[in-house]
Amino acid sequence: MVILFDMYSMPDDVFELVFATEQQVIVGRMLMDEIKAHGGDMGKTEMSLFANRLHDGCEVELSVPAGPVRTRKKMQISYNKRQFYDRILTPMKGMGMIHYDMYNKRYRLSESFNKAMQKVGILWLKEVNKPASRS
């Protein structure tokens, strides 16, 4: 997954940085909240039930900017189950936001994303400090 951002207009929500569309941001946030509601980890069955609930459609309450003030608004959201796995869960696993334990068949929130971003910063510093390559 590719993350493009402007350091001068960094969003407050990490999901707005990681996902391309508003709907993906909402579903990513919903997944994070769902895992937290299950004590920080979920089994395959719970994940499948969550994906089915999204597929069938569910109501969510969002904080929406209305001028200088943010208001709460309820809206109906539906997200295809296959697209949930392809566009939300798999990228979050690949970036280290979620860890999947294959032995126990459990998904849990992970700090690996933070470590990966620190590694990117270190790689950049190494590149900056390298001498110029002359061809």
Residues 3 and 91: their CA atoms lie apart, in Å, by 11
What pLDDT sits at residue 31? Answer: 95
Distance CA 47, CA 61 (A): 21
pLDDT value at residue 64: 61
Q: How confident is the model at residue 125 (pLDDT cuts 50, 70, 90)?
A: very high
pTM assigned to the model: 0.84
Outline where 1-135 has alpha helix (H).
14-18, 22-37, 44-56, 81-83, 90-95, 112-129
Q: How many residues does the chain have?
A: 135
- What pLDDT is stored for residue 66 in this prediction? 60
What pLDDT, on a 0 to 100 scale, did the predictor assign at position 87?
Answer: 95
Instruction: Tell me: pLDDT of 5 over 70.
Output: yes
Region class of 115: left (phi > 0), else alpha (psi between -120 and 50), else beta? alpha
The per-residue pLDDT for range 81-97, each reduced to its tens digit, is 999 999 999 999 999 99
pLDDT at 52 over 70: yes
CA atoms of 16 and 29, how far apart (whole Å): 10
